Structure 1
Amino acid sequence: MKKILLLLANGFEAVEASVFTDVFGWNKFEGDGTTELITAGLHPKLTCTWNFTVIPEMLVSDINVKEFDALAIPGGFEEANFYEDAYDERFLQVIREFHEAGKPIASVCVAALSLGKSGILEGEKATTYNHPTSIRRAQLREFGVLVQDDYIVVDHNIITSSNPSTGFDVAFLLLEKLTSLENVQQVKNLMGFN
């Protein structure tokens, strides 16, 4: 069984997290059955951007990266205090450990800023929230990232994306890295994407 850690910062967007829970849940029951997703956060209870409350299955302090095969991180809103957790050293250390182990890391929208802050994107290609009124791409560039004007960027083992609408595509890309394209097509078909 391949285990995926869904790392949640307080203030994360529920929809960006739910794409991972659904895609990997569908794979567990209807796909090849080889994946299990575990949620983790810095606190025993997390509040999403729009006040939805979530209880993660484990705390960051209890994570053993060796037990996991991949990392997924949804973005969130500054107004909901997302960056307090997303830039917390304990949160960033989890990212670094997955990267040092060469394991796939997938982020949606502004979660790329956590990757940038951790240092793993320095000199690498990536993207983040791309609305013309947003400062997020400039912020990502400040971390030494080669910011790309693309919907989704895959560089080595890291997936970054440009906005919340990319969520399902990012989750399916991560599933493909962990299983196969044929399996992803089967899960997409069952979920009504084909």
Structure 2
Amino acid sequence: MPKEILAKAGFLVVTASTVPGDLSGKKNLTTAHVDITLDKVNSADYQGLMIVGGQRTFWYDETVLRLCREFHAAGKLVAAICISGAIPAQAGLLRGRECTVFPDPAAIEDIQKNGAVYVHQPVVVSGNIITADGPAAAEEFGQALVEFLSR
């Protein structure tokens, strides 16, 4: 849903992952076409980074952590939803700052281990970092992304 909300607002959404081509999500309910592999993403070419996920696929992934740091250093959007909400904290971007994540005890512990302050809210905006706790917050998350990018 966030991708559709961004597209409806006029933003071009480019999908990146570790492998090119078409991907299927959990239980094959969600599909996506990968436009570019993560190793080829240049943060200078984009307004922001949005990490989605219901799995820990990109937890502590060095390429994703590097991209988070690059986007953040440039004052660009760094956004994450569901269990991926832990990734900006893993990148060291949320020390002493509030964020949210899917309310999984291991995810909350990981956020806190990395110095972030967990807040049990659907969406948390902390400067240029926006986190959301899961699918139920997808619409609010998408609207927060549009609001940030429209400034």
Is 1:126 matched up with 2:99? yes
Q: Which stretches in structure 2 are left out of the alignment for 5+ residues? A: none
Is 1:48 matched up with 2:48? no
Aligned residues: 149
Deviation at 1:145, TM superposition (A): 0.7
- Name the residue aligned to 2:9: 27
* Distance change (3 Å), C-alpha of 1:37 and 1:53: closer
Distance 1:163 1:25 in 2: 20
Distance 1:157 1:168 in 2: 18
- Name the residue aligned to 1:15: none
Structure 1 residues 79-134: Cα deviation after superposition (integer angstroms, max 9, x where no partner): xxx33x33210121111110111111221121111111111112211111126xx4
Q: Which has the larger Rg?
A: 1
Distance 2:71 2:101 in 1: 20
Q: Which stretches in structure 1 are left out of the alignment for 5+ residues? A: 1-18, 29-34, 181-194
TM-score when normalising by structure 1? 0.70
**1:151 corresponds to which letter in structure 2?**
P
Deviation at 1:55, TM superposition (A): 3.1
Contact (CA 8 Å) 1:47, 1:54: kept in 2 or not? yes
Report sequence identity in percent.
Answer: 26
**2:20 corresponds to which letter in structure 1?**
P
* Distance change (3 Å), C-alpha of 1:122 and 1:47: farther
Contact (CA 8 Å) 2:3, 2:142: kept in 1 or not? no
- Equivalent residue for 1:114, pick from 70, 87, 98: 87
Question: Over aligned residues, Cα RMSD in angstroms?
Answer: 1.8
Is 1:70 matched up with 2:26? no
**1:96 corresponds to which letter in structure 2?**
R
